[in-house]
């Protein structure tokens, strides 16, 4: 089985709610067409409180993210044909997924909204570091730092294998992190330090110190979203 990820752009003037409802309908059609699982992440009204957390270096910023689990990417056109009429623009990527924190028990497969927020991060490897070293630092070292310093209850690391669509911007990885609702507006909740400012500051410093080893912050995109999952 292979995982495909598609950043999506809405039609001009379309509300986030309208986009979400239409894409949930598309997601059900994708399941009927053979996808095993669909995850939809949308920048909708439920994550408005997290807007200050957004960082956009790649423009224009996307409005939704669609993940598909399919038997093979070879036949992706059948899924893209269902998706294309409902968005203004899309790009596709084949990824290799690693899941350091599974949240299956908190992610209903009927299209209901997952609690809290899903923070999606697009990463580009800095030219100063070789790919093998970048993977070693990120997955071999930083992963545990992220788990230890944040309140995440879901954590997925997607290494980009290749772009699937013409002229897709280059990214090396896409990260999905699930946080409780309080983390949208409370740094203490985000850094797993409710009621403890000293722990918050220590966790923030540990996280930043780890990130600068393999991330250039002018080459990163961070997007808080609402997550919806659908399975056969």
pLDDT tens, position by position, 94-131: 999 999 999 877 788 899 999 999 999 999 999 999 99
How far apart are alpha carbons 141 and 158 in whole angstroms?
16
Where are the chain's structural domains?
A: 2-227
Q: Name the residue among 87, 110, 112 with its Cα closest to residue 19.
A: 87
Q: Which helix (H) or strand (E) holds 207?
A: helix 197-211
Q: What is the DSSP string of 118-181?
A: EEEEEE---TTS-HHHHHHHIIIIIHHHHHHHS--SEEEEEEEEEE-STTPPP-SEEEEEEE-G
Report the predicted TM-score, pTM, of the whole model to 2 decimal places.
0.97
CATH number belonging to the domain at 2-227, selected among 3.30.70.100, 3.40.50.2300, 3.30.420.40, 3.40.50.300: 3.30.70.100
- DSSP three-state, residue 94: strand
The predicted structure's pLDDT at residue 19: 97
Q: Which helix (H) or strand (E) holds 95?
A: strand 93-101
pLDDT tens, position by position, 145-187: 999 999 999 999 999 999 999 999 999 999 999 999 999 999 9
Question: What proportion of the chain, given as a percentage, has pLDDT over 70?
Answer: 100
Tokens found for residue 95: 């990824």
Residue with tokens 């423009």: 59
Q: Name the residue among 112, 119, 105, 110 with its Cα closest to residue 180.
A: 119
Write down the mean pLDDT value for the chain: 97
């Amino acid at each position: 089985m292979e995982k495909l990820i598609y950043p999506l752009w809405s039609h001009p003037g379309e509300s986030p709610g309208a986009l979400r409802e239409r894409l949930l309908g598309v997601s059900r059609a994708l399941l009927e067409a053979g996808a095993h699982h669909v995850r939809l992440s949308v920048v909708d009204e439920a994550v408005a409180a997290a807007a200050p957390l957004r960082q956009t270096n790649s423009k224009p910023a996307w409005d939704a993210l669609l993940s598909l689990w399919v038997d093979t990417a070879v036949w992706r056109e059948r899924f893209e044909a269902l998706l294309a009429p409902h968005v203004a623009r899309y790009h596709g990527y084949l990824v290799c997924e690693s899941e350091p924190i599974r949240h299956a028990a908190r992610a209903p497969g009927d299209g209901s909204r997952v609690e809290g927020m899903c923070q999606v991060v697009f990463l580009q490897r800095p030219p100063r570091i070789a790919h093998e070293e970048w993977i070693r630092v990120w997955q071999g070292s930083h992963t545990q730092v992220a788990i230890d310093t944040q309140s995440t209850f879901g954590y997925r690391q997607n290494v980009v294998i290749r772009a699937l669509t013409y002229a897709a911007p280059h990214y090396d990885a896409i990260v999905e992190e699930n946080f409780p609702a309080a983390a949208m507006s409370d740094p203490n909740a985000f850094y797993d330090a409710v009621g403890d400012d000293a722990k918050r500051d220590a966790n923030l410093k540990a996280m930043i110190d780890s990130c600068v080893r393999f991330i250039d912050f002018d080459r990163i995109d961070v997007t808080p979203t609402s997550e919806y999952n659908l399975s056969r």
